[in-house]
Structure 1
Amino acid sequence: MRIVICFCFCLFVLSIKAQSLEEIAVKQTIETFFKGFHEQDSLVLKSVVSDQVIIQTIATKQDSTFVRSENYSDFLKHIVSIPATTMFNEKLLSFNIQIDGAMANAWTPYEFWLNDAFSHCGVNSFQLLKTSNTWKIIYLIDTRRKSDCK
């Protein structure tokens, strides 16, 4: 009986470790995305996204909420064209990662700072797909607001 309990415990510990390793890999993919974002490096950004990545924002205009889509190549052009004199930093406040097989979701609340001044806050929701032992971002949607950030 003790052997069975020890065996089950070992399997449980190994499954927790495997899951946490996958969570670490998902987190590293997102951190690499933001490294490329902050360094305005399109090659780094491209290395962690799928060829069919979808980028959207939940926007509000005149009390109307809607989804705004952005073409990924336009997103890259915008990021790399930001002048060197403009400082920007998206600070991720936490990670909530869920994984089911080859699919992962990461929920990352953030604050966005522009030239060392608070600009806005919100949440990023990343959907990732694992292929060939690599996690790739397939979908990113975010919210943006200037108040109620804590």
Structure 2
Amino acid sequence: MKNFIIALLLLVNTAVFAQNSSAENTPEQMVKDFFEAFHRQDTLTLSEIAYPGAKMESVSKDADGNTKLSSNGYSEFLKSIASIPAEASFEEKLLGFRVEKNGLLATVTTPYSFYYNGNFSHCGVNSFQLVNFNGAWKIVHLIDTRTKEGCD
């Protein structure tokens, strides 16, 4: 009987751990982890969250009102995060999540407002593309919009 109880406890403990692990490895959680690491300037975690060679792009309007698309590799993003001065504060406030998952591919969309040193800077929408590699979601592409207009 004692062995049965021990085996039952181990089984329940393993099942709970497995549920927690799979719940943590969702596209939405990966995006949340991205922003937690981003705010901590944790480039190691940021690099683990993304697939090697991930792409980053931003869409904005220039001074003449023309649409501008800028592209960077993820490694340039990591360098820019590491170069933010320690005395600077920044926060990207996420205003929601929309998750679309189809097999090995997921899109997570998050509207946001960005603040630098406590002052509003811009707003927009992030669109993360994630791929499930052998049970682990990784960011492969991030594109965002940046504007100062229509930010409520």
SS at match of 2:58: strand
Q: Structure 2 matches for 1:6-17, cutoff 5 A? A: none
1:73 to 48, 72, 75: 75
CA RMSD of aligned residues (A): 1.8
Given candidates 125, 135, 148, the residue that maps to 1:146 is 148
* Pairs within 5 Å for 1:82-93: 82-93=84-95
> Cα deviation per residue 1:48-93 (whole Å; 9 max; x = unaligned)?
1011211000021121102110122111111111001100000111
Aligned to 2:11: none
> How far apart are the structure 2 equivalents of 1:23 and 1:88?
25
* Counterpart for residue 111 of structure 2: 109
Alignment-mate amino acid for residue 30 of structure 1: V
CA distance, structure 2, for counterparts of residue 99 and residue 39 of structure 1: 28
TM-score by length of 1: 0.82
SS in 2 for 1:86: coil
Distance, in Å, in 2 between the alignment partners of 1:75 and 1:24 is 23
Contact 1:23 1:99 in 2 (8 A): no
- Structure 2 length as normaliser, TM-score? 0.81
The structure 2 residue matched to 1:137, chosen from 124, 136, 139, is 139
Cα offset, 1:27, TM superposition? 1.0
Alpha-carbon contact 2:25-2:136 (below 8 Å) kept: no
Instruction: Quote the residue 2:128 is aligned against.
Output: 126
2:105 and 2:27 mapped to 1: Cα distance?
10
The alignment of Structure 1 onto Structure 2 pairs a total of residues equal to: 131
For structure 1, list consecutive stretches of 5 or more residues without a partner in the other structure: 1-20
Q: Deviation per CA, 1:84-118, whole angstroms, max 9, x where unpaired?
A: 11000001110000000000001100000111111
- Matched residues, percent identical? 43
Task: State the distance in 2 between where 1:52 and 1:85 align.
Answer: 30
Counterpart of 1:38 in 2: which secondary structure? helix
Say if 2:129 and 2:142, in contact at 8 Å, map to a contact too: yes
Change (3 A) 1:23 1:59: farther
